[in-house]
């Protein structure tokens, strides 16, 4: 066996041992949960100190493209369109010439694709590598494997962090939803004086809708419904604070409608800082006199009906939080004759769209209530939601949706 052949075989064995040891070292670093900085330092050491590459840049896509590692390349990396500049590279490619300044500074592009999408690009300068083409290609194939392992490991770490963050967020939402459920009245009265029922569907885990029934005395009651602008946790938190404010005001202050509305407006302005507002309807009912006073603060008009005639409850003021001070407050007053039904609802009901982009609308809601007037309030609400389900078909509810129905005997 010639001395040259022996040297070649020895070189191949050394290269295989090097590749195996490098893979074992990286695998061990990943399995022992080394952080991203340690993994990139190990990758840099292998490329620079063990393989002899003095200049390279590793681009990695997380939320956006950025360079994960830059060695021996001092020129400022300006913003480049990664998809346009590098997106066409699916395999290891030797750069002959390019219109891109950054590609002209390197000799090889090594792409890393994962699940059909580009995850990383390694740009290498091979000009100082004094090895034959076959050995060079062997290096590049091995480097692509190393890059793939490192970048996928970093991506997995990122996804794990996101999963943990999402799990924590979901848990917080679960707690917020449970707390919000506790804020809604749990036992609505059904007796010889009244039959009251409510039903709602939150668009997400937490809702920006709110309804309440508050008994002031044996004969006086408060009924209210509200809807906050916007969605999500911030809207739900504002509504929870609003509900607590209402309860506190009735508990510690003498009831007076105009004073109450002015105070609620001030509270919403202070809490939301002008970023959100609340539409609100509140009614005070005296069972002895059968008189009901109310204020509608920009909310969808509740209505009362005896099964034939319908009266909208539209007197009031603007939405709470729209202005530092309410420009006017008009108190509405009506008498609820025996067997009168009051229906309160949020805009998720009347603004629900079907496949033809038509709203369910308030007229359709009124006609439903009139058509099925003999039903008790719980059955009435269930019927309304069944009709809403039919109306939207396969579409989703796009807003929080609440119905609060009250019949006074």
Assigned CATH for 184-408? 3.60.40.10
Query: Which candidate, 362, 352, 360, 258, places its Cα nearest to that of 303?
Result: 362
The mean predicted confidence, pLDDT, of the chain is: 84
pLDDT in tens, 387-406: 999 999 999 888 889 999 99
The residue extents of the domains of the chain are 3-162, 184-408
pLDDT in tens, 295-306: 999 999 999 999
Q: What are the distances in angstroms from CA 262 to CA 247, 327, 338, 399?
A: 15, 10, 32, 28
Assigned CATH for 3-162? 3.30.450.40
Main-chain phi, psi angles of 326, to 5 degrees:
-70, 125
pLDDT in tens, 163-209: 777 777 667 666 666 666 666 787 888 898 999 999 988 776 666 78
* Residues whose CB falls within 8 Å of the CB of residue 354, separated by 6 or more in sequence, listed in order: 360, 391, 392, 393, 395
Query: Which candidate, 274, 289, 287, 283, places its Cα nearest to that of 314?
Result: 283
pLDDT in tens, 355-368: 999 999 999 999 99
Q: How many CB atoms lie within 10 A of CB 319?
A: 22
Strands 303-305 and 401-408: unpaired
Q: Please count the CA atoms within 13 angstroms of the CA of 386 that sit on its side-chain side.
A: 7
Query: Which candidate, 389, 225, 280, 257, places its Cα nearest to that of 333?
Result: 257
* Residues whose CB falls within 8 Å of the CB of residue 263, separated by 6 or more in sequence, listed in order: 249
Cα radius of gyration (the chain):
34
* Residues whose CB falls within 8 Å of the CB of residue 290, separated by 6 or more in sequence, listed in order: 335, 336, 337, 408
Q: Is the pLDDT of residue 10 over 60?
A: no
pLDDT in tens, 244-288: 888 888 876 666 899 899 999 998 998 887 788 999 999 999 999
pLDDT in tens, 14-53: 656 667 777 778 777 777 888 888 888 988 888 888 888 8
pTM (two decimals): 0.61
Tokens at residue 18, please?
Answer: 């090097």
Torsion, CA 346, CA 351, CA 353, CA 357, rounded to 10:
-170
**SS3 string of 218-256?**
CCEEEEEEEEECCCHHHHHHHHHHHHHHHHHHHHHCCCC
Q: How many residues does the chain have?
A: 409
Decide if 3-162 and 184-408 have a common fold: no
């Amino acid at each position: 066996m010639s001395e040259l052949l022996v040297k070649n075989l020895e070189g191949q064995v050394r290269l295989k041992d090097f590749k195996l040891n490098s893979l074992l070292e990286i695998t061990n670093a990943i399995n022992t949960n080394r952080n991203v900085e340690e993994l990139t330092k190990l990758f840099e050491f292998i490329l620079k100190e063990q393989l002899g590459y003095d200049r390279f840049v590793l681009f990695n896509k997380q939320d956006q493209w950025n360079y994960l590692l830059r060695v021996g390349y001092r020129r400022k990396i300006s913003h480049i369109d990664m998809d346009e500049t590098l997106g066409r590279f699916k395999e290891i490619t030797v750069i002959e010439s390019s219109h891109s300044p950054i590609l002209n500074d390197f000799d090889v592009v090594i792409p890393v694709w994962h699940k059909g999408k580009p995850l990383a690009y390694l740009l290498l300068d091979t000009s100082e590598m004094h090895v034959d083409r076959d050995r060079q290609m062997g290096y590049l194939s091995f480097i692509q494997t190393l890059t793939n392992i490192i970048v996928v490991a970093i991506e997995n770490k990122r996804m794990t962090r996101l999963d943990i963050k999402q799990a924590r967020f979901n848990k917080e939402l679960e707690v917020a939803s449970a707390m919000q459920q506790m804020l809604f009245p749990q036992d609505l009265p059904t007796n010889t004086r009244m039959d009251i029922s409510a039903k709602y569907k939150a668009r997400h885990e937490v809702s920006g809708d709110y309804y309440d029934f508050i008994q002031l005395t044996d004969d006086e009651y408060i009924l209210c419904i509200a809807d906050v602008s916007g969605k999500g946790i911030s809207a739900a938190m504002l509504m929870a604070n609003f509900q607590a404010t209402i309860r506190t005001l009735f508990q510690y202050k003498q009831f007076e409608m105009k004073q109450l509305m002015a105070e609620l407006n001030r509270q919403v302005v202070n809490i939301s800082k002008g970023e959100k507002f609340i539409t609100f309807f509140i009614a005070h009912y005296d069972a002895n006199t059968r008189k009901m006073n109310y204020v509608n603060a920009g909310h969808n008009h509740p209505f009362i009906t005896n099964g034939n005639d319908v009266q909208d409850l539209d007197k009031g003021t603007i939405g709470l939080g729209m202005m530092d001070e309410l420009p006017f407050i008009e108190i509405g007053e009506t008498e609820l004759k025996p067997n009168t039904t009051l229906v309160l609802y949020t805009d998720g009901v009347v603004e629900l769209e079907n496949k033809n982009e038509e709203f369910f609308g308030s007229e359709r809601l009124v006609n439903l209530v009139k058509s099925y007037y003999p039903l008790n309030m719980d059955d009435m609400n269930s019927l309304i939601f069944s009709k809403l389900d039919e109306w939207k078909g396969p579409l989703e509810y796009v807003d929080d949706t609440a119905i609060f129905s009250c019949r006074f005997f």
